[in-house]
Structure 1
Amino acid sequence: MSRENLFNEEAIAKLKELAEDIRFAIMGTNLNSIPPHLIPMSTKDVDEDGCVWFLSSSESEHNQNINKDNNIQLIYSKPDQMSFLTVFGQAVIYKGKVVVERYYGSADDAWFDGVDDPNLTAIKVIPKEAQYWDTESGKFISLLKMGIGAITGDKPDLGEHGDLNIPLSN
């Protein structure tokens, strides 16, 4: 894989592309504990500043952990496409209809009692560090390139990876 660090708008665009394509993240809270608390979460949005948004219950263990220590780790994985993203940042919990209405969809009825659920919150993750691994061609082509590389002795270009340097103005 070739290394390509991305900056500013290009970094935000890559984060948005991967997070919204993969959609589900493993959210890690209580990071100073072994083991940390890990839970699958559905990404609702990556905004224009590169912040990642989720919906959650105020009574959840991860919300309680964020209230104690807002450091958070997100891990995205789509092995069939050979796409991966990790984001470390700080989480902010929002409670209020204006914010949660923006991200609420009918599928969320499985978890909440509608947009007026008194426990409904939005979690905003402000990225501090992010890394990505991505191939344009997917798993099959990557495996084919590896096979050709093994035969020819050439190192195949299997995609790109690097840091996503997002401005800290959020």
Structure 2
Amino acid sequence: MSEQTSSRDEAAAKVADLVKDIRVAMLTSTDAQGRLVSRPMATQDVDWDGDIWFITERSAEHTRNLQHDPRVNVGYSSSSSWVSVAGTAEVVDDADRLREYWNTFTDAWLEGGPENPDNVLVHVSADTAEYWDSPGSKVTQVVNLVKAKVTGERFEGDNRVVDL
């Protein structure tokens, strides 16, 4: 394995680690008028060769918009990190995977369970991801912020763009 491949794999693993505990993402796509539109989506699965899975309704406007322009951004944010994933989305009919991902939270938002033909998967194939991660605990973050303000140095954090 080349050093570049190893570095890419490590960076992809870092992205996976940052998003693994963030349940809700903001999925941004383009509507029929070309405007950017975002909506919260519960992440069902993240496989960091660059695959993200969501469950939604086929009849939803945001799902229909993916047919016109499949380019999307998926944003994740926590108290100490931020991840932005750019990729291409497609609507997927996969009854087995839909049943596998279905849970009580999904049941609360979508009607008819995994057997409802209107309930489908959205698969995002990531091209790139950018992350920012603030090191340490909340106390460490505050100390670093104060240090940056007092010294004029940049706030310590890890920022990187990863090709997936």
Normalised by the length of structure 1, the TM-score is 0.82
Residue aligned with 2:64, SS: helix
**Alpha-carbon offset, residue 155 of structure 1:** 2.8
Residue aligned with 1:115, SS: helix
- For residues 135-162 of structure 1, the C-alpha deviation after alignment (integer angstroms, 9 at most, x for no partner) is 23144422212223444x2736622001
Question: What residue number does 1:95 align with?
Answer: 93
Q: Is the 8 A contact 1:19 1:43 kept in 2?
A: no
Question: What residue number does 1:60 align with?
Answer: 60
**Bigger CA drift: 40-49 or 155-164?**
155-164
Supply the AA of the counterpart residue of 2:50.
G
Distance (Å, rounded) in 1 between the aligned partners of 2:125 and 2:7: 16
Residue aligned with 1:21, SS: coil
Q: How does 1:1-170 map to 2 (within 5 A)?
A: 7-30=7-30, 33=33, 35-78=35-78, 80-81=79-80, 83-112=81-110, 113-151=112-150, 153=151, 155=153, 158-166=156-164
Unaligned runs of 5+ in 2: 1-5
Counterparts in 2 of 1:108 and 1:137: CA distance versus 1, 3 Å = same
Which fold has the larger relative contact order, with Cα–Cα distance below 8 Å and residues 6 or more apart in sequence?
Answer: 1
Q: Is the 8 A contact 1:25 1:76 kept in 2?
A: yes
**Structure 1 segments of 4+ aligned residues over 6 angstroms from their partners:** none
**Alpha-carbon offset, residue 91 of structure 1:** 0.5
Normalised by the length of structure 2, the TM-score is 0.84
Residue aligned with 1:145, SS: helix
Q: Is the 8 A contact 2:31 2:62 kept in 1?
A: no
Please give the root-mean-square deviation of Cα atoms over the aligned residues, in Å: 2.2
